[in-house]
Homo-oligomer: A and B are copies of this chain.
């Protein structure tokens, strides 16, 4: 999506340690107009398929998911990072490693909010190693529901998460795929 790529080039900053800092519009300050247009773009790509629910994970996925859900007229569910090792029996759980923060979190979703047979669209701000996306996929499968797509605002195409999900047959849609980045610049994958 050209508008997002332009925002990344104009406002993003590549930092040492493979960090793309886009917190001025995506995940600290949120550019509502931009994310709403991104949401419409996602909707246009999935409008021929029934989406019962959008599933994301706190905190950075919530804004993008909510601004997209308006077009689908469906609820959003966000997985919570569990602070305890006691997962309530009424929750689905997945373990997710964060490469950014160097830690491991359990993420949980109440069994009330994903039901067997539903079509679920998974969304997040970033897709890199795919840990969060795979955790959300496993939660959807635990519920007996179907993953109709995995959407990321920004995919680090040089990491394995997105392509591994595609190889498994999931419909992965990233609005901007970065093939390489370093302090001298960012190169996007051609559409």
**A29 sits at the interface (CB 8 A):** yes
Please tell me which stretch of A43-51, A57-65, A138-146, A174-182 contacts chain B, meaning at least 4 of its Cβ atoms lie within 8 angstroms of it.
A57-65
**A7 interface residue per 8 A CB criterion:** no
Contact B67 A28 (CB under 8 A): no
By secondary structure, the A interface counts as: mixed
Pick out which of these stretches binds chain B: A72-80, A129-137, A149-157, A164-172.
Answer: A72-80
A62 interface neighbour in B62, B109, B112, Cβ under 8 Å:
B62
A66 an interface residue at 8 Å Cβ cutoff? yes
Residues of B within 8 A of A8 (CB): none
How far, in whole Å, are A24 and B112 apart by their CA atoms in the complex?
Answer: 8
Residues from chain B with Cβ under 8 Å of A18 in the complex: none
Give the Cβ gap from A117 to chain B, nearest Cβ, in Å: 17
Name which of A23, A69, A74 has the most chain B CB atoms within 10 A of its CB.
A69
Using C-beta atoms within 8 Å of the partner chain, give the interface range for chain A.
Answer: 20 to 34
Q: Nearest chain B CB to A153's CB is how many angstroms away?
A: 14
Known interface pairs A59-B62, A76-B63, A78-B59; A24-B113 also in contact (CB < 8 Å): yes
- With A36-B70, A83-B101, A113-B24 in contact, is A29–B62 under 8 Å at CB? no
Interface residues of A in 81-119 (CB under 8 A from B): 83, 101, 109-110, 112-113
Q: Is the CB of B32 within 8 A of A69?
A: yes
Tell me how far the C-beta of A123 lies from the nearest C-beta in chain B, rounded to whole angstroms. Answer: 13
Indicate whether A30 reaches chain B with its CB closer than 8 angstroms. Answer: yes
A30 with B76: CB separation less than 8 A: yes
**Interface contacts beyond A29-B76, A59-B62, A63-B76: sample of 4 additional A-B pairs, CB < 8 Å, sorted by A:** A28-B80, A29-B110, A30-B77, A67-B70
Which residues of A are at the interface with B, using a C-beta cutoff of 8 A?
23-24, 28-33, 35-36, 58-59, 62-63, 66-67, 69-70, 73-78, 80, 83, 101, 109-110, 112-113
